[in-house]
Amino acid sequence: MTPIAFGVLHLRRGAVLRFLLWSLPEALPAAMLGVAVARSVDHFLAGRSLVGLAWLAAIIPVSLCSAVGARQVLRGLGEMVEPMRDELVRRVVGSSLARALDGQADDGAVARLTRQVEIVRDSFAGLLMVTRDFVVGVVGVLLGLLALSPWVMLFVGPPFLLGVAGFVASLGLSARRQRAAVLAEERLAATASTVVAGARDAIACGASGHAAAMVAGPIEDQAAAERALSWTAVVRTLCFAVGGWLPLIALLMAVPWLTGRGLTPGEVLGGLTYVLFGLQPAMRKLMGGLGGAGLRYTVTLGRLLEQRVTPPAAVKGAGTRLEARHVTFAYGPHSEPVFRDLSLAVGEGAHLAVIGPSGIGKSTLAMVLCGLRHPSSGEVVVADRVLIPQEAYVFSATVRENLAYLRPGADDALLNAAAAAVGAGTLVEELGGLDAVVEPGRLSAGQRQLIALARAYLSSAPIVILDEATCHLDPATEAVAEQAFARRPGGLIVIAHRLSSALRAKRILVLDGAGAQLGDHAGLLERSALYRELISSLAHEPPGSPRSGSASPSWSGSVTGGSGPSPD
Amino acid sequence: MNGGTGRVEIARSRRQLMLVACSGAIGTFASLALPMALGRAIDGNGLALAVGLIAVSIASDLFDSFATTAYAANAAARLRHALIRQILSVSPHRLLGFPTGDLVSRVSGQASEAAQADFSRISLALGVLPPVGSLIVLSIMDWRLGVAFLAGVGGVTLVLRSFSRRAEQASAGYQVAQSGIAARLTEAMTGARTIAAAGTYEAERERVLRPLEELRAQGMRMWQVLARSTAQGAVVGPLVLVVVMAAGGLLLASHDLTPGDLFAAGRYAVIGAGLGALTGVLGGLARARSATSRINAVLQVPPLSYGTLSLPDGPGRLEFDGVSVDGVLRGVTFAVPGGSSAAVVGRSGSGKSVLAFLAARLRDPDGGTVLLDGVPLPSVSEGELRRAVGCAFEKPVLLGGTVSDAIGLGREHVGATRAATAVHAHDFVVRLPHGYDTPLADAPMSGGEAQRLGLARAWDASRLLVLDDATSSLDMVTEMRIGEALLAASRTRLIITHRITTAERADLVVWLDGGTVRAVGSHAALWDEPAYRAVFQ
């Protein structure tokens, strides 16, 4: 959809009508100005000063009348703009959320929601007003000129129309160039941002020149886009010369001819007044408005509309048995698979741990098993399951809303029991009970994980997948939580963060670059070199190691960098 | 040569600026004289003069509209190149006072604003002329016209005074509702994986949009306030013109003015009322000046200078000789024999990272010397130094279009695949959608993966590798393997670390404590000291 179509589609008929009708009084001062000047001058010249003054003074009540209209017009404008802004906010929220769910990195969501939506709101209003002002102004002048002397129209009309037509015709070009300039500016900011952030790295690698060259292109492109834009300013100035100044010159040159046809000096002055005080400002406003607000509107809204809202297809598995058959997954057609020909099944009573070095694709596997990523080949039978990722999601709402997220309507006894089971009972009390409002920012990472665990425990899904969902808990608390899940009816998959949690599982899947091995502890010690290596490296990590603030070593490195080239 | 072209460019831009100023001045005078000429033309003499003045002011407008934009574009580009070159040539610690976002805003937005400085000054000077000139001309035509004009302007100012406050209140409520939505959205986006897995997209969207109704209500309030002020504006709009025309009309009746004069008076009244627009120009000038001074603040930082010497043949012996950095390090003296590895340990805040920056010559000490194979680092030429010394960081920032670029960084002697293989990054790189050709933007990486690419980037240094906590996010197995690869490479290694295993493997441990070297020795020898063991707690 084009920005213009979007704007027009969201106009309410009632608001438009009100907007237009209340504009009529506003044409009055524009229509009257020249006539008032003409009549007053003629009266002054004839020595009837009081009548002359009365004509001028008449402008004031007419302005008052137009002020009443202006007030209603602005309200109508609000009724036209606000619904459109609402819809835009809905779209931005919907598309940003959808993109995030699709795993796309996106740091522009807030800027789109606050800055860009506001630019569209302001410029849409500006656009409507400026167009209306122009129409009202021109209609007013037209009426005034007709009342004054139709002959004047003959000299004023054609050049004015020509200038306006030329300007309107040049709008497309201006819009394209403006858009190019905005894009160039964004590219420049993006490149500069990386290079500035990486200045230390560039200097250390002796690549300062290379890094400067990375920005040099965008700088020059941006300057070229700005220079290209200056030509559109030239075109606009030319159009104004034709539409704004030519009528004045034509009228001046025609003065002897017009006086010959009986025009009074006052009427000549009135005609000139219409051009200089009516048409010129109207045209100037239109140019500034369409050139400024109009371009901002089309460019900004155009970019917002590019963000498509494609709500993610909800993958709701069914059944109690999750199965992967000969599954291979790769991020792209040209990339090495993350895992190859993997088969496993998890049903009632199963407890599987997945281990492997960081970045090997453990989280990716969790996403594939949940049906959130499609395997390149093979088949996944997605069960009714719940996935709790490493970064626990707690939102600003009551504890109850947070806990009952996956089981709406659960009663207090059930909520409290679940919290107690995973070891979050004390936390719920500390927070002030189920009705207390949670501020996620004030919770520690571990406290957030406890809430997410209680939530998963409550879920009616038979299969639970914990993707390092306990990594911020100390080993004792982790054990309590995992044991609770192990006792829970259904199957459990734990992407393990610590050796201890892997050893609690009945079966262990070892992922490494080459392939995957499935077995129990004893069997893997025998068959998997990586497993032996992992076990020994963990066993030999001295207890004093500063990284394990906890007593149990981990293999997933820092808590932030746990898992694969997946967008986690 | 570079300086030569720079001077030529600046001279050319001066000439352009002079042209713009002259054309602007001519245009302004023409438009100021125009009402008078129009008045004459109306009275029947001097049509040619009026047409001539119109032509002049159009020509000046045409020239300005092109030249100002083009000039500002070039000026902004010059500022940007200079800023980027500067940022890439000063010691990083000198820019610590400027957060990245702040520096980027100087390069993008503020360079444009600063480029406007020259014009703002010109248009301010020229902008004063029409309103002030109008008042003067009016007063010369007849002093009573001047008085009428001032009275009209006074009336308008009084009426327009009253609005701005109410508008501010309404917009504050609007912004609160708006940030409410933004906060909920940000929160929901951090829970993307939970929401995707739970299939609760619709519910989340509605939860985020809950403050929308309030937003609408606040928005409508803003329009109501605006409606009131616009109405007031519509009343007072024609006031000045009416008052001046009335005064002029009376003078016309008493034959003190001609009809042409009256028309000119009306025109001057409108131009004169444009004085308010000058506040906009003043604001622009203030912005341009502050942008200029913010850019200069960056440009005035002294750059890191390099010498001209080459390094003699040598194994890469690194030597700190009485090195101090104000407030951080005092009298640090130690030597790492060529080809061996030294771990630098110490509690946080003991100056380890500053030591790494000194060894990699990302900064110079305030006292003492850092030498590589006997040559003080500042004497070595840039190319020679950066080929010899590589540095990897805890949080590397990757630069370049693709993963392969990010490792090679345009340096001919660096082979991306070879370096990536050496640091065990090859395995995950080939799993990216397009392997080594994957655009960095499409390759979101974990901390450990980024660290390995950062390491690969520094791997080809010929004499000295400085690792500033550069493997802290790696799992044990990978770190062990990289440790082995490091051992095999015959280069001097200076490794800042928190890990006990790394200290164990190093030939030498430099133990920093409160900015001084507490001891230098093997890990085994130092382990007996309780204070040393406490470093790793």
In B394-468, which residue ranges form alpha helices assigned H by DSSP?
A: 403-408, 416-422, 426-429, 447-458
Distance CA A465, CA B93 (A): 45
**HSE-CB for A53 with a 13 A CA cutoff:** 10
Interfacial B residues in 119-158 facing A (CB < 8 Å): none
Write out residues 176-205 of B within 8 Å (CB-CB) of A: 178-179, 181-202, 204-205
Predicted confidence at residue A554, as pLDDT, reads 45
Say if the Cβ atoms of B65 and A199 lie within 8 Å: no
CB contact under 8 A, A558 and B448: yes
Interface test with A, best of B212, B350, B428, B430 (most A CBs within 10 A): B428
Q: How far is A407 from chain B (nearest CA, A)?
A: 11
Choose among B67, B197, B239: nearest Cβ to A387.
B197
Q: How far is the C-alpha of A73 from the C-alpha of B528, rounded, in Å?
A: 85
The answer to whether B238 contacts A60, with C-beta atoms less than 8 Å apart, is yes
Measure the CA–CA gap between B71 and B99, rounded to whole angstroms: 30
Interface test with B, best of A59, A174, A200 (most B CBs within 10 A): A200
* Residue A538 C-beta-side C-alpha neighbours within 13 Å: 24
- Could you say which residues from 250 to 269 on chain B have a Cβ atom under 8 Å away from some Cβ of chain A? 250, 252-253, 259, 262-263, 266-267
Taking CB atoms and an 8 Å cutoff, what residues of chain A touch B473?
358, 557-558, 560-561
Say which DSSP state A47 is in.
T
How many A-B residue pairs are in contact by the CB < 8 A criterion?
483
Q: Which residues of chain B have pLDDT under 50?
A: 1-4, 163-165
Tell me the nearest-neighbour CA distance from A478 into chain B, angstroms.
20
Residue B58 burial (CB count, 10 A): 20
B94: nearest CA partner in chain A:
A200
| Contact between A234 and B47 using a beta-carbon 8 Å cutoff | no
Per the CB < 8 A criterion, the answer to whether A351 and A551 are in contact is: no
SS3 of A189-238: the string is: HHHHHHHHHCHHHHHHCCCHHHHHHHHHHHHHHHHHHHHHHHHHHHHHHH
**Tokens of residue B187, six digits:** 């929160």
Q: Does B523 touch chain A (CB under 8 A)?
A: no
pTM of the full structure: 0.75
Give dist(CA B367, CA B371) in Å, integer: 13
CB neighbour class for A480 (10 Å; exposed up to 12, middle 13-18, buried from 19) = middle
What would the DSSP string read from start to end of A263-303? Answer: --HHHHHHHHHIIIIIIHHHHHHHHHHIIIIIHHHHHHHHH
Looking at the complex, report in whole angstroms how far the Cα of residue A192 sits from the nearest Cα belonging to chain B: 6
Amino acid in position A280: Q
Answer yes or no: do B263 and A252 touch at CB < 8 A. Answer: no
Domain extents in chain B? 2-142+257-299, 318-535
Q: Is B402 on the interface with A (CB under 8 A)?
A: no
Nearest CB to A101: which of B107, B201, B270? B201
Stated length of chain B: 537
- How do residues A490-529 score in pLDDT, each as one tens digit? 899 998 877 778 888 889 998 876 678 888 888 888 888 7
Does B167 reach chain A within 8 Å, measured CB to CB?
A: no
Residue B9 pLDDT: 63
Of B266, B445, B477, the CB nearest to A537: B477
Q: Do B398 and A68 touch (CB under 8 A)?
A: no
Q: Which residues contact A295 (CB under 8 A, 6 or more apart)?
A: A174, A175, A178, A179
Which ipTM did the prediction report?
0.81
How far apart are the CA of A124 and the nearest CA of chain B, in angstroms?
Answer: 14
CATH 3.40.50.300 fits domain B318-535 = yes
| Chain A residues within 8 A of B42 when measuring between CB atoms | 252, 255, 265, 268-269, 272
| CA angle (B31 as vertex; B29, B33 as ends), nearest 5 | 70
CA distance A258 to A264: 9
The answer to whether A105 contacts B444, with C-beta atoms less than 8 Å apart, is yes
Q: Using CA atoms, how far apart are residues A428 and A415, in angstroms rounded to an integer? A: 10
Shortest Cα distance, chain B CAs vs residue A476, angstroms: 20
Q: Mean of the per-residue pLDDT values for chain A?
A: 84
CATH topology of domain A322-540: Rossmann fold (3.40.50)
CA A11 to chain B, closest CA, distance in angstroms equals 15
Look at residues B61, B72, B57 and name the one whose alpha carbon lies nearest to residue B17: B72
Residue A269 token pair: 């002055």
Chain A hits for B238, Cβ within 8 Å: 29, 33, 59-60, 63
Chain B CB contacts of A255 under 8 Å are 41-42, 44
Chain B nearest CA to A171, separation (Å): 16
- Contact in structure between B520 and B510 (CB atoms under 8 Å): yes
Selected for mutation to probe chain A from B476, B481, B482 (highest A CB count within 10 Å) is B476
Put simply, whether B385 touches A (Cβ < 8 Å) is: yes
Interface membership of B501 toward A (CB under 8 Å): yes
Contact B77 A220 (CB under 8 A): yes
- pLDDT for the residue B262: 86
DSSP B217-273: HHHHHHHHHHHHHHHHHHHHTTHHHHHHHHHHHHHHHTTSS-HHHHHHHHHHHHHHG
10-residue block means of pLDDT along chain A (568 residues)? 83 86 85 86 86 87 85 87 92 89 74 83 90 90 88 89 93 86 85 88 91 93 90 90 92 87 85 88 88 82 82 77 89 76 89 82 87 88 88 90 91 94 92 91 87 93 90 85 91 85 88 79 85 68 39 38 33
Strand order from edge to edge, sheet including A322-329: A339-346, A322-329, A377-381
Instruction: Tell me the residues of chain B between 323 and 352 that have a Cβ less than 8 Å away from chain A.
Output: none
CB atoms within 10 A of CB B515: 19
The Cα of A530 is separated from the nearest Cα of chain B by a number of Å equal to: 9
pLDDT of residue A514: 60
Contact criterion met (CB below 8 Å) for B23 and B60 = yes
Q: What is the pLDDT of residue B72?
A: 86
Dig out the tokens for B275 from the structure: 């004085």
Which residue does chain A place closest to B237, by CA atoms? A63
Tokens of B514: 């409160």
Q: Per-residue b/e over A45-69, b at no fewer than 16 CB within 10 Å?
A: beeebeebbebbebbeebbebbbeb
Residue B279, min C-alpha distance to chain A (Å)? 18
User: Which of B42, B69, B449 is nearest residue A230 as measured by Cβ atoms?
Assistant: B69
The pLDDT of residue A552 is 40
